[in-house]
Amino acid sequence: MTVVRVKGEDMIAVKDASSELKAYFESLSRSKGRDITYTVRTYGCQLNESDSEKLEGMLISFGLKKCEDSIPDLVILNTCSVRENAEDRLFGNLGEFKAAMREDSDRLLIVCGCMMKVKENVDRIKKSFPYVDLVFDPQNLHRFPVLLLQKIKRHKQLTDISIDDYIADDTLLDIRRQRKFRALVPIMYGCNNFCTYCIVPYTRGRERSRDYELIMKDLKDLSDAGYKEIMLLGQNVNSYTAYDKPYFPQLLRDAAEKFDFKRIRFMSSHPKDISDEVIDIMASHDNIEKHLHLPLQSGSDRILKAMNRPYTKEKFLKTAMRFREMISDGSLSTDIIVGFPGETEEDFLETLDVVKKVGFDSAFTFQYSPRPGTVAAKMEGRLSPEVMRDRFSRLLEIQNDLAYRSNQAKVGKTEDVLIEGESSGDSNVLTGRTSSFHLINFTIPDELKIEGYSSNDYEGMMCRVRFTEARPYSVDGIMESFI
Ligand code: SAH
Ligand code: SF4
Ligand code: F3S
């Protein structure tokens, strides 16, 4: 595995640039007589979100304040390329900043993330969106201070797309976590699987695992800081290696045994790589969530082969059944693509068959979206939008029913819930998750309410909740006690 570590002198440049930026924004704040504000919009997956948290940490260290309402002085759009509609969203949103950028020449508009690894997107920004100040890609994230400073000094649009797959662990400043109880912890970057439909290996580069000891240090710091939940992240966590050995089971066990976390989550697991050992470790550690995300993509062996997903329907079913056997109160979620080129009705029925046999507790379902540059984009046998929509809605109908049934099975039980905060739309209702990742909306009886607490003050606390009623996407309940 080739990993390009950031050189010492580059790190010094990052630190120097950060100090200069701090001075620049301080003086801008004095001349404007107010705080300088920022916003970061995240378009993609949890890795994208984790990158946004790092960028926010850097901005805060330059003295910027998060913008709550007015137009911010600095905007970062952290893009995603995984499907066409994610890309369309960016180009739709860019226009909305045009007037604001003209109005104040000190304002900065920055575009980064996976879309910026696709040349056509960068070219389109250069051509049609001259008011974008800076463009860079995910592998360049650690160099953001250097690039931002360069841009501010030279007053012209700056695009900087890297060619190496860096691993830049030790250059990062404080991370601004979105939730006070949950920490996203990338354990590896990139992907070597090259599923034929997927753009990620092109945007995120080759697989590279973070240093084991550095991850352990992160976990210790997070545990000391009182984080209740960690999420170990990678495109395929099972190919995490350290000292050139497959190491994910060891990492998961150490995370569960050496620290004080209430919930350890991990994403994603490739069905070709997940081992029985991982499922055994999940079953024997209460603080590892009883939830496995296992992306199926298709139930047809023929389509799986065309997707370059080297497992069969039978192997997938075997893994899913083993999980159900070992963790009977656990939940399984998945990703499914309908309408891959050449998918026949029979292939689609194989997918439905797996969905019914496994009874996924939840699923992310997608219509195939051709990604330029991938192998599948050149394949024959594209489906018509009508067939695609028809299969998609048939799948959704079955899956919605399964999700509802999974919620119904909770009714009458009492389980531990990690409180995430106020339920949207109702300040008397709290929301949280079970270990099986079921979404729970619940009330607190008056005698359990903590004086002076608003709903969001309960965020990060653990409690016992009795489940009373199932809804399509959540379960209602009543809190019984704090734990
Ligand atoms: N590494 C993760 C997936 C990351 S992308 C994994 O392998 O599980 C998240 C999901 O987006 C994929 O699982 C897939 O279902 C979907 N996806 C990826 N490329 C797609 C495409 N071209 N069209 C439709 N869905 C796609
Ligand atoms: Fe994409 Fe496949 Fe890698 Fe997941 S494993 S990121 S779907 S190439
Ligand atoms: Fe999107 Fe990049 Fe994640 S393409 S799904 S943001 S790895």
Phi, psi of 349 (to 5 degrees): -65, -30
Instruction: Provide the pLDDT confidence category of residue 173 given band limits of 50, 70 and 90.
Output: low
In this prediction, residues 430-453 reach a mean pLDDT of 95
> According to the model, what pLDDT value does residue 344 have?
98
pLDDT, tens digit, 9 for 90 and up, residues 177-236: 888 899 999 999 999 999 999 999 999 999 988 888 889 999 999 999 999 999 999 999
Integer Cα distance of 480 and 434 in angstroms: 14
Contact 14, 140 (CB under 8 A): no
pLDDT, tens digit, 9 for 90 and up, residues 326-345: 999 999 999 999 999 999 99
Q: What's the CA-to-centroid distance between 248 and ligand 1, angstroms?
A: 21
* Atom number of ligand 1 nearest to Cα 370: 22
> According to the model, what pLDDT value does residue 165 have?
76
Q: Is 311 touching ligand 1 by the criterion CB < 6 Å?
A: no
Instruction: Provide the pLDDT confidence category of residue 476 given band limits of 50, 70 and 90.
Output: very high
* Atom number of ligand 3 nearest to Cα 82: 4
Integer Cα distance of 454 and 474 in angstroms: 22
Integer Cα distance of 16 and 9 in angstroms: 10
Q: Is 18 touching ligand 1 by the criterion CB < 6 Å?
A: no
* Atom number of ligand 3 nearest to Cα 78: 6
Q: Is 292 touching ligand 1 by the criterion CB < 6 Å?
A: no
Q: Whose CA is nearest to atom 7 of ligand 3?
A: 200
pLDDT, tens digit, 9 for 90 and up, residues 106-163: 999 999 999 999 999 999 999 999 999 999 999 889 889 999 999 999 878 888 888 7
Ligand at minimal distance from the CA of 337 is: 1
CB atoms within 10 A of CB 152: 19
Mutation choice for ligand 1 from 47, 192, 366, 395, CB with most ligand atoms inside 8 A = 366
Q: What Rg do the C-alpha atoms of the chain give, in angstroms? A: 23
The structural domains of the chain, ordered by start, are 3-167 (3.40.50.12160), 179-285 (3.30.750.210), 290-409 (3.30.750.200), 414-482 (2.40.50)
Mind giving me the DSSP string for 163-174? -S-EE-GGG---
In this structure, the chain runs to a length of 483
SS3 340: coil
Per the DSSP assignment, residues forming a β-bridge with 109 are 75
pLDDT of 242 higher than 90 = no
> According to the model, what pLDDT value does residue 23 have?
97
Ligand at minimal distance from the CA of 235 is: 1
Peptide bond into 268 cis (omega under 30): yes
The three-state DSSP-derived secondary structure of 236-301 is CHHHCEECCEECHHHHHHHHHHHCCCCEEEEECCCCCCCCHHHHHHHHHCCCECCEEECCCECCCH
Mutation choice for ligand 3 from 200, 208, 237, CB with most ligand atoms inside 8 A = 200
Mutation choice for ligand 1 from 46, 194, 198, CB with most ligand atoms inside 8 A = 198
Ligand at minimal distance from the CA of 116 is: 3
In this prediction, residues 308-332 reach a mean pLDDT of 97
